[in-house]
Chains A and B, each alone.
Chain A
Amino acid sequence: MKPLTPVAPGVRVALGVSFFVLFVAVWAAATFGGFVSKTFLADPLTMVKSGHTLLTEMGFGWDIAWTVWRVLGGFLIAAALALPLGVLMGAYKPVEAFFEPFVSFARYLPASAFIPLLILWAGIGEAQKLAVIFIGSFFQLVLMIAVTVGNTRRDLVEAAYTLGVSDRGLIRRVLIPGAAPEIAETLRMVLGWAWTYVIVAELIGASTGIGHMITDSQALLATDQIIFGIIVIGLIGLCSDLLFKWANRRFFPWAQLGK
């Protein structure tokens, strides 16, 4: 191996898959070999079987749908507000000076710590779940978008001005399109974080969702179901990641060039 030397695409996939195989193999060896008690860790086969039961008989599909809906809802609200504010902060320095200190402070407030407060304010309904995700993702998004937009190459800005662009045109035709691929990358990352917040929100005071199923299973010592729930979250995360990467390549082909 030499540092930074790329691998062939086929080898890359094979290596990625083989770690999954290794992971499951170690897990199977630990459980089937009797090294770990069944009470604490279910074996892969039991996990798959109870996953099947969960989906076919216990309506786990609905729980997944609820969770996905909450993540997307909270995240889309956060993104819809963070995008304009982040762009304005990146473009106009006084706006940045006004919001940046507060946003920097607010992004360190742990979203999960707001749950008790949000339950007081919004009850245990959907508004509370959406609010947790919103708090967890909005401030992060705003800051990262503002930095991306603010980092636009100055020579491109100057070139645009010598071509007669107006200030509004500069934002619309230079700052936003130039920052778009990196903003999409930010959205992808923060959506990943939103997934952790939704599960936390569902662990406390929810009657549906993947997180709710996991708390229920804990009471029954059903580690097979807990693990299945966790794996489902992982798989959904993987899918959304792949979808984002595909969309980036599709919408921003220029950003892939020369990489």
Chain B
Amino acid sequence: MNGNNILQVRGVERRFDTTLALQATDLDVAENDFITILGPSGCGKSTLLRIVAGLDRQTAGEVLLDGRRIEGPGADRGMVFQSYTLFPWLTVLDNVCFGLRERGWPRARQLETAHGFLAKVGLKGFANHYPKQLSGGMQQRTALARALANDPRMLLMDEPFGALDHQTRELMQELLLGIWEAQAKTVLFVTHDIDEAVFMGNRVVVMSARPGRIKLDRRVELPHPRSYAVKTTPTFMALKAELTEAVRAEVLAAQAATQAASEAAA
């Protein structure tokens, strides 16, 4: 056991009735790691993340955060979802204050912290807007500020930029990376976008087709701070090529499995 691992996933398995979604998975996450999890859709990457978040229960194995078993969701693991999950009845500012208020912080301290994080995600002038008045990218930036304001041990992100257009997505990647470089948070980031996985992560984990398991675990040897220009360097391209092959093999395997199942049914 490594002393600097803040998160340990030990033999975690998730079964839905008869389907095995995730098979005995191990993963160690070190302090300040930015791990991106790649895989074809339905490979169980979101399931793994939800188990770490405590929103789903594993059917075998255990997850330890700082050596303690995870039994349910908590403020120590902040999460940003793919769907827009801002509370529509709260303003941007009160959304960011949500977790702080739950802790019973005095209002003045809540506001100070919230304004600080809103400035960090570039939403200074939007504190009093309602979520429905914001674009998708701005909503996800607010969701990021809301999760960060809570000062969690880990940040869990489930395809947070998946619903955004390409340009907004690239800006969001740089924003998040900039915050991570400045704040050194530990991040688990699920995506199916290979560019995103390599650009953001210091480690990329590829998961296999269902039943999901970790197939490949690569360090990303690109120096920080990274800018978008890094995407055209040979190191980036070489890793991207390797991961593309690995993911493609899994997508094909998943397709073959679906076809075999439908033929068996017919």
Contact = CB atoms under 8 A, between A and B. Distances in A.
A254 B128 CA distance: 12
B133 A162 contact: no
Contacts of B54: 161-162
A155 B83 contact: yes
Interface string A157-196: 0111111111001000110011010000000000000000
B185 to A, nearest CB: 15
A163 B132 contact: no
A156 B132 contact: no
Nearest to A252: B89
A258 B133 CA distance: 8
Q: Which of B132, B150, B156: most chain A Cβ within 10 A? A: B132
Nearest to B156: A162
Interface in B26-78: 53-55, 72-75, 77-78
Interface string B149-169: 010000010000000000000
Contact of A158 (B73, B87, B88, B150): B73
Given A158-B55, A252-B89, A254-B130, A165 B81 contact: no
B17 interface: no
Nearest to B87: A156
Interface stretch (B95-103, B175-183, B205-213, B219-227): B95-103
A257 interface: yes
Contacts, number: 78
A253 interface: yes
What class of interface size applies to chain B in its complex with A? 20 to 34
A257 B55 contact: no
Given A163-B99, A178-B87, A155 B81 contact: yes
Contact of A164 (B83, B103, B156): B103
Contacts of B103: 164
B99 A253 contact: no
10 closest A-B pairs by beta carbon, nearest first, are A164-B75, A163-B99, A159-B85, A161-B73, A257-B132, A162-B79, A258-B132, A254-B130, A177-B89, A155-B85
Interface of B: 53-55, 72-75, 77-79, 81, 83, 85, 87-90, 98-99, 102-103, 130-133, 143, 146-147, 150, 156
